[in-house]
Amino acid sequence: MAMYLVMTAAFVLGGVLLGVGLYLTRQDDFPSWWQAWMLWPLIEVTPRVTHLQGWAAVALGVSVLAIGFTPVVPEILGGLFVLIAMVGYLTGAALFLYGTYLSRRVAR
């Protein structure tokens, strides 16, 4: 029972991250309804920074979805999904940090 709850949470979180990320990759700015606290690490939000943050969310969403699918696939495919999840997480973290760096570098 608990496993299904965790899998559902992973699917929901991964889907939301993937959706928000794909939305941001197609926009030149964050939505106006986003509060300032939601953008706390960013100083100067340019279209490039917005796209990088979107791709970071896509990579993290893929990572979470890959981990969510591991219990229901064969072992060899589960191992591949774990590898995809690790690469997606590292890629998402690197893109997030690079986008944050760019937003702070432009402000100087």
Would you place residue 3 in the very low, low, confident or very high pLDDT band (cuts 50, 70, 90)?
confident
What are the residue boundaries of the structural domains of the chain, listed by start?
2-27+39-107
Would you place residue 38 in the very low, low, confident or very high pLDDT band (cuts 50, 70, 90)?
confident
Mind giving me the DSSP string for 15-73? HHHHHHHHHHHT-SS--TTS-GGGGTT-SS--HHHHHHHHHHHHHHHHHHHHHHHGGGS
Taking the C-alpha atoms of residue 49 and residue 73, their distance in angstroms, rounded to an integer, is 36
Query: For 33-56, what is the mean pLDDT?
Result: 90
Would you place residue 106 in the very low, low, confident or very high pLDDT band (cuts 50, 70, 90)?
low
